[in-house]
Amino acid sequence: MTDDVSLADPHTVPTRFWHRLDDRRVQCDVCPRACRLHEGQRGLCFVRARADDRIVLTSYGRSSGFCVDPVEKKPLNHFLPGSAVLSFGTAGCNLACKFCQNWDISKSREFDTLADQATPEVIAQAARRLGCASVAFTYNDPVIFHEYAIDVAAACHEHGIRTVAVTAGEISEGDVVVIRNEGPAGGPGMREMLAVTAAIVGEGLGESVALLTDGRFSGATHGFMAAHIAPEAVRGGAIAAVRDGDAITIDVDSRRIDVDLDGDEIAERLAAYEPPPAPERGVLAKYAALVGSASEGALTDPQPARAPAPAGGLPV
Ligand code: SF4
């Protein structure tokens, strides 16, 4: 219990994503931790708490760890390459990783000594003054302070500065993870999937989270995983129609995988689906053009749906 949370504090603001439970607790719905709090209690992230019978954020406008980084430090692919990014985080985190490099921020309980006061507008102006093309919410999972982050993003937008959120994974029991465009034509090249499956199993979710992919597994994979789904997404397979939040049912006994969508919705989504751009030259382009669907066995002729051979022959 804590008695230091009050909406009278200028850094404490009401939040939207929570609901009441029958047992009179209040559940925070921001992240998979789903903290169920009595009055005065803080969530695992420490910065969200129950006060005045609602969930509040206690770190609005309190930030820490300001640093100008090359954007290449962020886990992004070709995002404003060569530019500088202004990084910051806040106290608290919804994770408890033993190897955390930012534990002095993410596990801090010392808001006042650690955090600087910075309004969204102050951060946006600082980024512009420092020549940063973007601002990154990082060091801890920004979903826990998203009310603040959203306002910072809006202020940055006014100054033509982009924002980046370095979030934690959000996979919890009962989820079905879908990874597509990792098949021989869509990848292309059948990248190793073991790191993904190992991460799921390593989180202790091997029995309660399933993985579906049009990519390939090697023999070392274990857990509730199904790969080689065909046709793969880039060839118009149904896996391309799946979106976040869809309900997927895997019935092992009847050997079926179903998504809770009607045929018209699937057709509409497939018609609107745009796969990521294919390589146009080199060995991967050649491979993607030649390879066939796993459902059709071994093929040796060029396939029409992706990376067709240009006039004059295949790229070399
Ligand atoms: S954001 Fe914080 S309070 Fe909310 S569920 Fe996650 S850890 Fe708990």
Question: What are the backbone dihedrals phi and psi of residue 59, each rounded to the nearest 5 degrees, phi first?
Answer: -120, 20
Average pLDDT over residues 263-286: 89
The 8-class DSSP code of residue 42 comes to B
pLDDT in tens, 119-172: 999 999 999 999 999 999 998 999 999 999 999 999 999 999 999 998 886 788
Q: Is residue 34 in contact with ligand 1, taking CB distance under 6 Å?
A: yes
Q: Is residue 238 in contact with ligand 1, taking CB distance under 6 Å?
A: no
Q: In b/e form, how buried is each residue of 103-117, taking b as 16+ CB within 10 angstroms?
A: eebbbbeebeebbee
Q: Is residue 26 in contact with ligand 1, taking CB distance under 6 Å?
A: no
Choose the weakest-confidence range: 75-84, 95-104, 127-136, 142-151.
95-104
Could you tell me which residues come within 8 angstroms of residue 177 by beta carbon, excluding any fewer than 6 positions away?
A: 171, 196, 200, 209, 210, 211, 212
Are 184 and 201 in contact by the 8 Å Cβ rule? The answer is no
Q: Is residue 93 in contact with ligand 1, taking CB distance under 6 Å?
A: no
Q: Which atom of ligand 1 is nearest to the CA of 94?
A: 7
pLDDT in tens, 5-38: 888 888 999 999 999 999 999 999 999 889 999 9
Are 126 and 86 in contact by the 8 Å Cβ rule? The answer is yes
Q: Which atom of ligand 1 is nearest to the CA of 46?
A: 2
> Residue 114: pLDDT band by 50, 70, 90 thresholds?
low
18 vs 80: CA distance, rounded Å: 36
Who wins on pLDDT, 217 or 111?
217
pLDDT in tens, 284-315: 888 888 777 767 766 666 665 544 434 433 33
Distance (angstroms) between ligand 1 centre and the Cα of 207 equals: 24
Does the pTM exceed 0.85? no
Q: What is the CA radius of gyration of the chain?
A: 23
Q: Give the pLDDT score at 300.
A: 65
Are 114 and 91 in contact by the 8 Å Cβ rule? The answer is yes
- CA-nearest of 80, 78, 82, 79 to 70 is 82
